[in-house]
Amino acid sequence: MKGRLRGRALARAVVASVALVLLAGCADWGVNTGGSGGKVTLTYALWDAHEQIGYQASIAEFEKLHPDIQVNIENIPYNSYEQKITAEYITNQAPDLFWVNTPWLGTFVKDGILTNLAPKIKASHIDMSQYYPQLVTMHSRNGAIYGLPKDWDTIALYYNKAYFKKIGLTIPANLSWNTDGTGSFVTFLKQATTDTSGHNALSPQFNPGHVATYALGTYNDPQSGWGDYVAELGGKVIPYPYASTTSLDTPAFKQGLSFLTSTLTNDHVIAPGSETGPNANGNNLLTLFTEGQIAMWQAGDWNTTALKTAVKFPVGVAPLPIGPAGRVSIFNGLIDGLNSKTKYPKQAWELEQWLGSAKSEAILGSGGYVWPAIKSLDPLFQQYWAKQGIDMSAFLTEARGKVANFPVSSGMGAALLQIDNDLGPAWLGSASVSSAVNQAGKDGNYALKTGN
């Protein structure tokens, strides 16, 4: 009896709360209409909750300057971002302006989702030379430009200062490597790898079965992992932008990969692929780094915020080693895509201009969110992190040096996913480099062919 009464009371409470939500929430039961009155409401999509805070500050400034435009930020989960933008585009629901990551850029361009901004850039007299030229190239095709560069990233080596102090080693400014395993980089990595009894990998007593700290942690990734070593041999994933076949069957590609998966792995100086994820995808490298199980973590600058919260020791950043073709980092950056079917092309362009302007990039840079794409503003970001105790200049040195653009082609997202899956066994030691690369080339080609 008591149970029944309580059940009824509960039912009443639920009904009441639903009614409350309906009344209070100005619930959306009707079809959504756009802005009201003379005011235009733009939707701006992004995928990172942390950077959203910086963007909100910037957009607040924009709204002050444009009282007739209101901007709603739509946060979309990263794993569903490309799909959702595409789905919304075909039903005319896509945001007016949205972040574009480079793996999807080619597909969005080919499908006509993005507006060519070249005429607008010309009409508004925007100085494109203020940006890193590689970023402009990355987002251009046949004279069309699909966005104003906003930020960039390079790959470098975060290192555990406490560990290197403990083993009495300093990191030389320039380390070099060769495909045959010679060069100062490999020797240095051996010095920086220690087993549980404190012997380093150069010592005859070194026990490879009980490594306490591997010198390096890197992983199966076209940007933060093998991509940089392949680039330092002059290799690429695709021969030229918007290519519909891969160039994985080049010696440079196989040599770059096998330097990591054979040379360094056999020397026991990098964390074994099986320790970094199901396909050596590096899921847990941050944890290995914070736990002191890797001394250096090869990663992009966007990890600094997470790193800063996680580590309990001082962190430094060293540049990548120098390969046969020089020191080459994969270079990447975001733009805002302007929906080619937007109802408000004029207002969306205003927002695009603002977010690509020195004022907005200064807000994001000085808040420590991203390296500004406008070269002259880079010190702002560097200063923010210097105050936090991390010297970020290695990333900048690389950006000012030789870089290789993140590959752009239609179907690239799918191709890279497939390539990583196929290269996984090479990292795990269950397949040879050449058979893994052959499979990756075959599947990558199919993804690019069907994507184009």
Site for another protein, residues 90 to 109, rule: CB under 8 A: 90-93, 95, 101, 107
* Angle, CA of 335, 340 and 344, to the nearest 5°: 95
The length of the chain is 452
Contact assessment for residue 412 and residue 103, using Cβ atoms and an 8 Å cutoff: yes
Query: Can you tell me which of 431, 433, 437, 440 binds another protein, judged by CB under 8 A?
Result: 431
CB of 214 to another protein, least distance (A): 10
Footprint (CB under 8 A) of another protein, residues 53-82: 53, 72-80, 82
CB of 125 to another protein, least distance (A): 33
CB of 296 to another protein, least distance (A): 16
Cβ nearer to another protein, comparing 322 with 415: 415
Q: Is 7 in the site for another protein (CB under 8 A)?
A: yes
Would you count residue 251 as binding another protein (CB under 8 A)? Answer: no
Given 262, 417, 432, 438, the residue binding another protein (CB under 8 A): 417
- To another protein, the closest distance from the beta carbon of 160 in angstroms equals 13
Give the side-chain half-sphere CA count within 13 A for 397. 15
CB of 73 to another protein, least distance (A): 8
162 binds another protein (CB under 8 A): no
Shortest spacing between CB 422 and another protein, in angstroms: 7
Residue list 299-358, contact with another protein (CB under 8 A):
302-303, 305-306, 309-312
Q: How far is the CB of 331 from another protein (least distance, A)?
A: 17
Least distance to another protein, CB of residue 286, Å: 6
For residue 288, report the phi and psi dihedrals to the nearest 5 degrees.
-60, -40
3-state secondary structure 257-300: HHHHHHHHHHCCCECCHHHCCCCCCCCCHHHHHHCCCEEEEEEE
For strands 194-195 and 155-160, give the pairing.
unpaired
Contact by Cβ (8 Å): 152, 135: yes
What are the DSSP calls for 101-169, one per residue? -HHHHHHHHHTT-BPP-HHHHHHTT--GGGB-HHHHHHTEETTEE-----EEB-EEEEEEHHHHHHTT-
Residues paired with residue 45 on neighbouring β-strands, in sequence order: 74, 98
Handedness of CA 159, 164, 165, 169 (dihedral sign): negative
Q: Please select the residue that binds another protein; options are 424, 437, 440, 441, rule is CB under 8 A.
A: 424
In the complex, the smallest distance separating the C-beta of residue 373 from another protein, rounded to whole angstroms, is 16
Residue of 40, 42, 44, 47 interacting with another protein (CB under 8 A)? 47
Residue from the set 336, 350, 352, 443 that interacts with another protein by CB under 8 A? 443
Residue 36 interacts with another protein (CB under 8 A)? no
| Least CB distance to another protein at residue 180 (A) | 28
Q: Binding another protein by CB under 8 A: which of 2, 5, 23, 32? A: 32
Cβ closer to another protein: 214 or 253?
A: 214
Which residue in the set 293, 332, 347, 357 belongs to the binding site for another protein (CB under 8 A)?
293
The tally of CA atoms less than 13 A away on the side-chain side of residue 253 is: 21
What backbone torsions phi and psi does residue 214 show, to the nearest 5 degrees?
-80, 145
Single-letter residue type at 318? A
CB of 410 to another protein, least distance (A): 10
- Which of 70, 274, 397, 438 is in the footprint of another protein by CB under 8 A? 274
Amino acid at 99: W
Interacting stretch for another protein, rule CB under 8 A, among 30-38, 123-131, 322-330, 392-400?
Answer: 30-38
The shares of helix, strand and coil residues in the chain, as percent rounded to the nearest 5, are 45, 15, 35
Provide CB contacts within 8 A for 413, sequence distance 6+: 82, 103, 104, 107
Q: In whole angstroms, give the CA distance from residue 102 to residue 332.
A: 7
164 contributes a contact to another protein by CB under 8 A: no
Q: Give the Cα separation of 85 and 401 in Å (integer).
A: 34
**In the complex, least distance from residue 421 CB atom to another protein, rounded to whole angstroms:** 6
- # chain residues binding another protein, by CB under 8 A: 91
Q: Is 194 in the site for another protein (CB under 8 A)?
A: no
- Here the tokens at position 264 are 């360094």
Which of these segments, 115-123, 194-202, 240-248, 407-415, binds another protein (CB under 8 A)?
Answer: 407-415
Rounded Cα–Cα distance for residues 223 and 204 (Å): 35
Distance CA 311, CA 43 (A): 37
The only residue of 2, 30, 64, 125 in contact with another protein, by rule CB under 8 A? 30
Does residue 401 belong to the site contacting another protein (CB under 8 A)? no
Does residue 414 interact with another protein by CB under 8 A?
A: yes
Q: Which of 8, 18, 34, 124 binds another protein (CB under 8 A)?
A: 18
Pick the closer one to another protein by CB: 20 or 202. Answer: 20
